[in-house]
């Protein structure tokens, strides 16, 4: 199977990964924590600091999305190799 990098992850595959109770829980937890960090009023760098306040939120969310996409791809590769 050829691996390609996509700028936008396949949301259908991510949804399948999230709904499967046998899939890894760590990427799911990281996404929940990233969303909570985004809406929580206390940040490492407050949002009142013009650009840096938003960059720390954006950075953590980008890492969470990357990790979720990476874990989803590994999950799909494993399920495609496994006999039904």
* Cβ–Cβ under 8 Å, residues 34 and 43: no
| Alpha carbon 79 to chain centroid, angstroms | 19
- Please name the residues in contact with 9: beta carbons below 8 A apart, sequence gap of 6 or more: 65, 68, 69, 72
- Residue 40 corresponds to which tokens in the numbers above? 């929580």
pLDDT tens readout for residues 20-75: 998 999 999 998 988 888 888 777 777 777 888 888 888 888 898 899 999 998 99
Q: Indicate the domain borders of the chain.
A: 11-81
CA distance between the termini of the chain = 18
Note the helical H segments in 1-84. Answer: 11-19, 26-39, 52-81
Residue 1 has pLDDT above 70, yes or no: no
pLDDT score of 8: 66
């Amino acid at each position: 199977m050829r691996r390609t990098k996509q700028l936008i992850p396949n949301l259908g595959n991510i949804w399948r990964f999230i709904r499967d109770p046998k899939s890894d829980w760590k990427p799911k937890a990281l996404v929940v924590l990233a969303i909570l960090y985004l809406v929580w009023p206390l940040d490492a760098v407050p949002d009142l600091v013009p650009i840096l306040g938003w960059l720390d939120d954006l950075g953590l969310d980008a890492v969470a999305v990357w990790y979720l996409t990476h874990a989803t791809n590994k999950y799909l590769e494993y399920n495609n190799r496994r006999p039904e």
